[in-house]
A = this chain, B = another copy of it.
Amino acid sequence: MTNDNMKIVTIGFDADDTLWHTENMFQETQVRLAEMMCRYADDKAVQDHLHETEVQNVKVFGYGIKGFTLSMIETAISMSKGKVTSEEIHEIIAMGKKMLKAPLTLMPHVETVLANLKHNHPLYLITKGDLLDQGNKVDKSGLSHFFDGVEIVSEKNQETYAAVFQRHAIDPAHFMMIGNSIPSDVEPVLGLGGYAVHVPYKSTAVHELFEGTIDSENFFEANSLSDIPRLVRKLNGQFTKKSSIVT
């Protein structure tokens, strides 16, 4: 089967919380911050304030651990009404550094799935966030050899996807994006005429939350990355049996 009659030619993967875990590390760190602040405010108040601070700061700090760390410090100062100690602030910076240095935990089946798909498809990793931090994670993951390109962008929207498609001569009509975020991985790609698969993570960052429904024939939900190779083969007409296929 040649590329000409394949619906899906090129496949893009989100990284954080699609190929490896990160959200659990952010959430564990938030729990530690709330514990540290328990003299000043209850857990929920601290977490709510942190989320508000993150949302306010994202335009100036972008996504990533350094901006998150600065937002935690602002939250600690505000929730303690200035009583937070410099030892506590030092501890928050140490929590940020620990996150930056943390080993990666890959999602189940990642290597098998990438190796399987790589036989027939150019694969791209498309992730947003901090250039150094995301680059370090790609290195640590040991997965970079699977990818024809790694694209780290500051925001995932139609404009940035269109630039990636142009840079690599990718036809969006034959492109499938796989990720855990509806706003970042699904909507912009569907908007450009591509395919998208949502593989939900057990918990979702506040700025990635999505309410609503997606009405598109090009949109699929999967429970696990291990569902992807069968889905791609099905769409490309490479199955004769219709049983046990994720749609």
B86–A77 CB distance below 8 A: yes
CA distance A187 to B226 in the complex (A): 46
Q: Which of A112-132 contact B (CB under 8 A)?
A: 129-132
- In the complex, residue of chain B having the shortest beta-carbon distance to the beta carbon of A98: B60
- A66-B67, A80-B86, A131-B153 are known; give 5 further A-B pairs, CB within 8 A: A60-B97, A62-B131, A77-B86, A82-B86, A131-B131
A95 to chain B, nearest CB (A): 12
Q: Which B residues are CB-close (under 8 A) to A66?
A: 61, 64, 66-67, 70
Contact with B along A124-163 (1 / 0, CB 8 A): 0000011111010000000000000000111000000000
What's the dominant secondary structure at chain A's contact region?
helix
B70–A90 CB distance below 8 A: no
Identical subunits present: 2
Identify which of A61, A67, A74, A96 gathers the most chain B CB atoms within 10 Å of its CB: A61
A40 to chain B, nearest CB (A): 11
Contact of A69 among B70, B85, B135 (CB under 8 A): B70
Identify which of A60, A80, A82, A100 gathers the most chain B CB atoms within 10 Å of its CB: A60
Q: Which B residues are CB-close (under 8 A) to A93?
A: 70, 73-74
